[in-house]
Structure 1
Amino acid sequence: MPQPDYITQFCDYLASEKRFSIHTVSNYHRDLTDFRDFMATTYNLPPENARPPLIRSWLASLKERDMEATSINRKISALKSFYKFLLKRQLILKNPSAGIVSLKQKKRLPSFVEETQIMPVLDRSHFPDGIEGSTRFLAITLLYITGVRVSELTGIKEQDIDYASAIIRIIGKGNKQRNVPLTPQTILQIRSYIAEKRKEFENQTAFLLVNKKGNPLTRGMVYNIVKQELSTVTTLKKKSPHVLRHSFATHLSNHGAGINEIKELLGHASLASTQVYTHTAIARLKEIYQKAHPKG
C-alpha cells in the first residue's frame, strides 16, 4: 500500500489556506523532500516516523555538505512547520522536531548600492527605446522606490495603483496588504508605461509589468534584469532584487527615517527583521567619522 504524501498535503495547505507565495511553497517542498529522501535512503523510514536523533543526523549531513547556517535554519523551520501540521491533524502523536534548535548565524550587514551609484539606472535614457527598455526601467525603479520583494513586484496589477492618493497597494507575505507611497515622478512613469503598453499590445494583462511579448513579467526575468543593470553601476558580488530592497531601506535610514516606518514600508512582521538597517546606518556613521575626524 503506497505511503500517504503528507508533504504534498502540507504544501497544498500552505498555498490554499496560508496563502503563501508559489516561491515560498516551492522552497518548503524542496526542503521537506530533501529530508524525506534522506530518511528513506538512510533509515528506510517515512518522515512521519522520524525521531529527534534521526533529524539531528540529517542536520549533521547538511553540515558535512558545507551548507550555510541560514540554509540549514530554513530547512529546520520548514520541518518544524510540517510536524506542527501533522500533529494538529493527529497524523502523528508527538512532534519529533520540538527539541531541535536553530544554528547560530553570523550577523551580516545587507549588501546595498550607494546612492550615487544607483542614480544612472533610475534614468530612462540609460535603457534602450521600446517596451522592453521601458519594462526594465520601471522594474528597477519600483524595486528601489518602493522596496518591494521580487514576488510582490511581479504580482502588482494596474488596479493596485491609486493615482489620486499616490500610493501602490502591495500584497505581501501571507497575503498581507500594505500601502507604499509613490513619488509624483514615479506616478508619471507608470502612466507613461501603461500608455506605451496599450499601444504595443492588443491583448492586455491585468499585471502592470510585461515582457516583450506582452505576458506578465516572471521572477526569473526580474532577476536577470537586475543583475544586468546593477553590473553597469556597482562591483557588488551580489546583484539581486533584494539588494535594491536593502538599498531602499538603508538609504531611508541614512536620511533619518525611523525604524518603525521602515518596518511598515518593507512589510516586516517584526522589528527584529528591520533592526539590521539601524546597524547599517551606525556602521556608515563610524566610517564617515573615521575618515573626517582629525583623530580618526
Structure 2
Amino acid sequence: MMIDQFLNYLRYERSASPQTVQTYEEGLREFESYISLRDSGLSLQAVDTDLIRDWMEGLMDKGNSASTINKKLSALRSFYRFSLKRGLVEKDPAHAVTGPKRSKPLPQFLREGEMDRLLDQFEWNDDFNNVRARTILILLYEAGLRRSELTGLNDDDVDFNAGQLKVTGKRNKQRIVPFGRELADALRQYMTLRDSQFDDNNGAMFLDNKGGRMTGSQVYATVHKYLSMVTSLKKRSPHVLRHSFATAMLNNGAGLESIKNLLGHESVSTTEIYTHTTFEQLKRVYKEAHPRA
C-alpha cells in the first residue's frame, strides 16, 4: 500500500516518466521481498538503517555494480522521504545510508615498446603532414600535454636553450615542462618545414594545412590514425599519450610529486591512479610469466 501511494505520487504529482516509475517500483518491490524473506512479520515502517545496509551488501555479493545499487538506494531514499512527509513512517532509515563508490576506470596507455615501434620503426617521410604528425606524437608522449595545451602552444613557449616548454593548462595555470634532444630535434625540423610553407603562423606552433592554428579535433584525428597502427586499445586519443607519459615515468622511477607537477595536477591524489595502472600491468606480467600463476 505504501509503495503504491508513492508510485501514484510520482505519476500524478511529480509527473515522472513511465521509465522512472518502473525503475523505482522494481527497486522498491525488490526491497520489500527482501525484508519479507528476512522476517515475514517485518513491515516497511519497521525497517532500520542496518537492514538497508545488509540489503545493499547482499546486492554487492550478487555482483551488482555500484551504479545499479545506487539507483536502488536512490529509489529507497525518495520513498522514505515521501513516507516521512506524509506521516506513513516515524523516521527515515535511508537518510544516513551512503551508497558504494563507483570505481573509476583505470587510464589506458600504450606500452613503451608500442611507442618505440611507432616513433622509431614506422617509415616516416619528410612531407609536412608526416613531420607534423610525428612531432605531435613525440610532444604528447614526452611532455604529457593535454590536447588543448598542445593546440594552444606558441613558438614563444619553447625555450630551446633551456630545454623547456611553458605550458598553459586548465584555468590558465602555467607550468614549465622540460624536454630532451629528441623532442628538440623534432620541433626544429617541423618548424623549419612549417616556415618554408607558410609566411605567417601568427605565433602558433602547430598549423593545419591551410595555415591556421590546428584545432583539437584535427589533433585527435592525427593521433587516432597513428595509434591505430600499433595498438588495439579502444581509446586512441591524445589523452592516452598523456597517460602513457605518466605511466612510463612512474615505471622508470619518477616520484608521484614530480609526475604531478609535470602533468599540472592540482593534487597528488589525482596522480595516484597511475600507481594502480602500473600494479595492474605488473599483475598481467606476473600471470603471463610465472609458471604457477
Matched, 1:274 2:271: yes
Q: TM-score, normalised by structure 1?
A: 0.63
Q: Which residue of 1 aligns with 2:196?
A: 199
1:97-148 Cα deviation digits (max 9, x unpaired): xxxx999322221111111111233249633432122111111111111010
Q: TM-score, normalised by structure 2?
A: 0.64
The correspondence of residues 60-71 of structure 1 with structure 2, limited to 5 A, is: none
Matched, 1:220 2:221: no
The residue identity in structure 2 corresponding to 1:223 is Y
Consecutive unaligned residues of structure 2, counting only runs of 5 or more, are 1-13, 24-65, 68-97
CA distance in 1, matches of 2:285, 2:232: 21
8 Å CA contact 2:201, 2:207 repeated in 1: no
Q: Please, which moves more after superposition, 212-221 or 200-209?
A: 200-209
The residue identity in structure 1 corresponding to 2:119 is L
CA distance in 1, matches of 2:146, 2:121: 22
SS in 2 for 1:109: coil
1:154-204 Cα deviation digits (max 9, x unpaired): 001000011111011100111111111111121111111111111111223
Aligned residues: 205
CA distance in 1, matches of 2:145, 2:125: 24
- Aligned Cα root-mean-square deviation (Å): 2.7
The residue identity in structure 2 corresponding to 1:173 is K
Q: Which residue of 2 aligns with 1:104?
A: 101
The residue identity in structure 1 corresponding to 2:229 is T
2:117 to 103, 115, 120: 120
Q: Which residue of 1 aligns with 2:137?
A: 140
SS in 2 for 1:265: helix
8 Å CA contact 1:124, 1:134 repeated in 2: no
Moved over 6 A (4+): none
2:289 to 267, 277, 292: 292
Change (3 A) 1:125 1:203: farther
SS in 1 for 2:167: strand
SS in 1 for 2:176: strand
Matched, 1:239 2:236: yes
Q: What's the offset of the Cα at 1:251?
A: 1.0
Change (3 A) 1:103 1:242: farther
The residue identity in structure 1 corresponding to 2:211 is G
Change (3 A) 1:177 1:230: same
Q: Which residue of 2 aligns with 1:154?
A: 151
CA distance in 1, matches of 2:169, 2:230: 29
SS in 1 for 2:206: coil
Decide which structure has the larger Cα Rg and report it.
2
Q: Which residue of 2 aligns with 1:164?
A: 161
